[in-house]
Amino acid sequence: MNDTDIKSRVIAIIQSIAPEVEADALRADQPLRRQVDLDSMDWLNVLLGVHEQLQVDIPEADYGRLVTLDDFVAYLRAKLGTRA
């Protein structure tokens, strides 16, 4: 899975929780949770979506590394890479 694939999977997961989000309007280098109104329960649901669809379990200690969409993609790429 390349970065573009990972990014579109993550956006799809976010949209399943926040349907009003438009993929084109998201700035991948800006803090994600400030652009998309995600409370802590929504955030947990995003991580559950990642767990179910990409089989990556993100520990709470790593939340701080997932500020922007770019961060998120880089993080998942590293996790998926190590497993393969």
Total residues at interface with another protein (CB under 8 A): 20
Residue 38 binds another protein (CB under 8 A): yes
Which secondary-structure segment (H or E) carries 3? Answer: helix 3-17
Among residues 46, 40, 44, the alpha carbon closest in space to that of 18 is found at: 46
- 74 belongs to the binding site for another protein (CB under 8 A): no
Q: Which residues contact 45 (CB under 8 A, 6 or more apart)?
A: 17
Is residue 41 at the binding interface for another protein, with CB under 8 A as the rule?
yes
Tokens of 34: 């400030």
Q: Please, what is the minimum distance in Å from the beta carbon of residue 79 to another protein?
A: 13
Applying CB under 8 A, among 1, 5, 16, 37 the residue interacting with another protein is: 37
User: Does the footprint of another protein cover residue 33 (CB under 8 A)?
Assistant: yes
